Structure formats: C-alpha cells, structure tokens
Structure 1
C-alpha cells in the first residue's frame, strides 16, 4: 500500500524520459542546502552545529599537542 503510493508520487515528477533518475537532483541539492543553512544558522541552546564542531576540533588539537609534548 505505502510502496504503491510512493511509486505513484515518484512517477509524477516530470523529466523521466529526458533525465531519468537524475531528475531528482534538484530536490537533493535544495535539501542539502537547507541542511547546511540549518547547521549554520539554527541555534540549539547557545550553539550551532559548527560552534560544536570547531570546539571539538580545537579540543582534539590541544590533546594531540599535549600527547606530542609528553613524548
């Protein structure tokens, strides 16, 4: 039942003859851009995704320096 509904919706996307499976690329491009915008702009608590990423990378770099200095 659900599978048939999905197929029906996918068949309604135009461009099947000309583009084939690649007709879905614009959808995924927009989805990826939206996810990137959310990771940059949307704050959860006080931090964005990239704030956390930068902090963790900095912590890893600091730990590596400590390990290198102790050797």
Structure 2
C-alpha cells in the first residue's frame, strides 16, 4: 500500500477533523465534481462537447418514442 509522510501530514493538518471527521474533505470533492461538469459542458474537442452529444441523443430518443407511439396508434 502506498504511504507518504508528507501526505499524512497534509491530511492531518486539514481543518475540521474533530467536528466533521472523514467528511471534512467533502467540499474538495464537491468542487472537483463541479469543475468536471463545467469542463464537460464548456470544453470542445473539434466541434463536439459532452453537452451537444447529450442533446443529440435526447432528441433521437424523443423522435423514436414519437415514431413508436404513432405506429402503435395506426395499428
């Protein structure tokens, strides 16, 4: 198992140990999640980003559902 004295010192110096216990790191992970979400929406690779792909997939699902409903009603 990986163990680092510098990491242990850093984690022990992190505030809120007595009051929050292991949950004192929760704000860090919340911010990391927000940064990840922001990057998925704003950063583009070529002409594509995560949000445009998501919108395209949602539109395809809606159209497919409407086509299936129309086919069921005509039968």
TM-score, normalised via structure 2 length: 0.78
**Offset, 1:26:** 1.3
Distance 1:38 1:11 in 2: 31
RMSD: 1.9
What residue number does 1:18 align with?
19
What residue number does 1:36 align with?
37
Structure 1: stretches of 5+ with no match in the other structure: none
Structure index of larger Rg: 2
Runs of 4+ with deviation above 4 angstroms: none
What residue number does 2:4 align with?
5
Distance 1:58 1:10 in 2: 46
Structure 2: stretches of 5+ with no match in the other structure: none
